[in-house]
Amino acid sequence: MSTIKANTLLHSDGTTTTQPSIPALDTRMAKAWVNFDGTGTITINDSYNVSSISDIGVGDFRYSLVVAMPSLSYITTCSATYDTLGLSAPNSTSEVALTTKTVGGSAFDCIGVQSMVFGS
């Protein structure tokens, strides 16, 4: 196995670049992700490109993106811990709504909620 270590990546034309702006990798990388506690006061455990989360109601959350998606043609994923189901849907280019429910279908505030956004 080979290992590549670098402090700086260069584009083929010699300009400096960072990983998200490497064209071949860009569409395969998450544009945003968040891990948060959805019980009580919302606590963001870790995130990328997420500025805040709003608690809309039991099991209903909406998070805002720092850098908006260029169009509504993006996908989201959502998961939650325990016996809950995470449902996520693109609502706008700058916000994502998600719902956590028990397997039986009842709205439920869950401790571990994770969501990601992918698109170009």
Distance, in Å, from the CA atom of 87 to the CA atom of 89, rounded to the nearest integer, reads 7
Model confidence at 101: pLDDT above 80: yes
Distance, in Å, from the CA atom of 31 to the CA atom of 18, rounded to the nearest integer, reads 14
Whose CA is closest to 60, among 99, 19, 12?
99
Does this model's pTM top 0.85? My answer is no
Q: Domain residue spans in the chain?
A: 27-118
Distance, in Å, from the CA atom of 83 to the CA atom of 81, rounded to the nearest integer, reads 7
Q: Which residue blocks in the chain are alpha helix, DSSP H?
A: 23-26
Mean pLDDT of the chain: 83
Q: What is the pLDDT of residues 27-78, one digit of tens each?
A: 678 899 999 998 888 999 999 999 999 999 998 999 999 999 988 888 888 8
Q: What is the structure's pLDDT at 52?
A: 95
